[in-house]
Amino acid sequence: MEMANVEETMRELRESYRRRKTRSAAWRRTQLEGLSRMLKEKEAEIFKALKQDLGKAPEEAFRDEIGILWKSLNLTMASLEEWMAPKKVPVPIIAFPTSAELVPEPLGVVLILSSWNFPFGLSLDPLIGAIAAGNAVVLKPSEMAPACSTFLATHIPKYLDHEAVKVIPGGVHVAQILLDQKWDKIFFTGSARVGRIVMSAAAKHLTPVTLELGGKCPAILDRLSFSMDYQVAVKRIVSGKWGPCSGQACVGIDYLLVEEQRVPKLMEDIKIHLKKLYGDKPLETNSMSRIVNKHHFQRLKKLLDEPGVAATIIHGGALDEPNLFIEPTILLNPPLDSELMTEEIFGPLLPIITLKKIDESIDFINARPRPLAMYVFTKDESLKKKVVAETSSGSVTFNDAIIQFALDTLPFGGVGESGFGKYHGKFSFDAFSHGKSVLRRSFLTEFSFGYPPWNAYKLRFLRAAYSFDYINLFLLFVGLKRS
């Protein structure tokens, strides 16, 4: 796409927004219903596109993308009028007689730049929020999932208002052209490196941004007395590492912290659960996604080829470059200064870091950039409180992994280098809205204490009003405390 085409697209979108066609609840609901129909009517084609781009099985595709989008759409359509309604806010007595409210209004024409690892979920979930909030939208899906990008560019115009919602596919060149435009909001999902580019471009126009980035999400495995609890924990760790897109997920477990004495037993049990989930030959299973492309395959291979890293592999390590598969691989205490331990892995490699005592995990995590998510497997209430009080992350989940992403009632987002801003459910609506403050004051009564000429009586009146001292305020008002 050339600059002239983008500029024409922007003019059409701004004209649609200027004519206020995106403002009505009816328009918003129609678009949301169109998305819902697309997901249901084109499910087989969506499965096919995800299989082609990432090797995802239909069950995984439904669990991680389509099902979550259904849930998000149902909640948004059921709550739309409530979210759109002005919200009354309390007014202090000093402002009497006054009423006030917050009125949610759309930001305008917004840009959504999505990622490739969940190409439907990470494109359409923000789109749901942007439409619900009444914006005109450009969605640029990732070129690294070409079949999914083509699907979105082909079918969204058939189901949604093409004058106000547009899909612009393309690579880095197209992204740069889009970032050169003036937007009213940019929502980006991807790496911290590209996030810095997006933020720099947005700064030219003082455009607000939401950055959904990543980071090295740690998991802590504490002592668990009951065998059943322990086995469930190991199963959830295995699933939280290799289950979502073969570890190509920003919320996936990046590395595991455990007491060193527990490693032999842990390794036995991880292998058992890997076999249950992915069979004896994981590279031949239909239950694991493949690496997205050759570039990322080579990036992961390079992590394993670093000095001192290969020697720490204690399970897996097999590579199938023609088919872009990497066997679930576990490394024990790789060098902490290696890229494997300083960069987000985003693949099926799990470093296990051993500690003398599990309490040391707090300092280990705090010595590194704040992660998007933390996972702590423990029944120790004091450790739970310590993790919540003494660490910072986008979210903390106890005794499971990934599940927090599916909860519409919890905001999803990072902190620090893992991103800022949040979405999901009502938080998506808020991410694309401006809460406009509206105050209504009556002409009925006019008090003189707020105006010159000043005197000691007016100062006492103001002191009582601002400190909510209603008794003295009343006495001053009726003239019983003038002296």
Alpha helices (H) in 263-351, listed in sequence order: 263-278, 294-305, 339-342
Digit-coded pLDDT (tens) for 289-300? 999 999 999 999
Q: Is 390 part of the annotated catalytic residue set?
A: no
- Percent of the chain whose predicted confidence (pLDDT) is above 70: 98
Digit-coded pLDDT (tens) for 416-450? 999 999 999 999 999 999 999 999 999 887 878 88
End-to-end Cα, the chain, rounded Å: 77
CA distances from 103 to 66, 100, 109, 411, 438 (A): 32, 10, 19, 21, 7
Instruction: Say whether pLDDT at 482 is over 70.
Output: no
State the average pLDDT over residues 110-139: 98
- Name the band, by pLDDT with cuts 50, 70 and 90, for residue 226: confident
Q: Under a CB-based contact definition with an 8 Å cutoff, are residues 237 and 401 in contact?
A: yes
3-class secondary structure, 117? coil
25-41 and 121-132 helices cross at what angle (nearest 10)? 160
Backbone angles phi, psi at 425, to 5 degrees: 60, -135
- Name the band, by pLDDT with cuts 50, 70 and 90, for residue 287: confident
pLDDT of residue 481: 57
The pTM of this model reads 0.94
State the average pLDDT over residues 172-178: 96
- The rounded distance, in Å, linking the Cα atoms of 408 and 78 is 13
43-54 and 146-159 helices cross at what angle (nearest 10)? 160
* 39, two tokens: 């997901």
Mean model confidence pLDDT for the chain: 94
Q: Strand 165-167's sheet: what is its strand order?
A: 165-167, 136-140, 109-113, 185-189, 209-212, 419-420
Q: Which position among 148, 217, 245, 250 bears the catalytic label? A: 250
Instruction: Say whether pLDDT at 470 is over 90.
Output: no
Instruction: Say whether pLDDT at 483 is over 50.
Output: no
Q: Which position among 60, 65, 148, 212 bears the catalytic label? A: 212
Residue for token pair 């009951």: 226
Q: Estimate to the nearest angstrom the gap between the alpha carbon of 337 and the chain centroid.
A: 28
Q: Is 212 part of the annotated catalytic residue set?
A: yes
Q: Under a CB-based contact definition with an 8 Å cutoff, are residues 421 and 209 in contact?
A: yes
CA distances from 308 to 161, 336, 339 (A): 55, 10, 11
- Name the band, by pLDDT with cuts 50, 70 and 90, for residue 92: confident
Q: Under a CB-based contact definition with an 8 Å cutoff, are residues 313 and 331 in contact?
A: yes
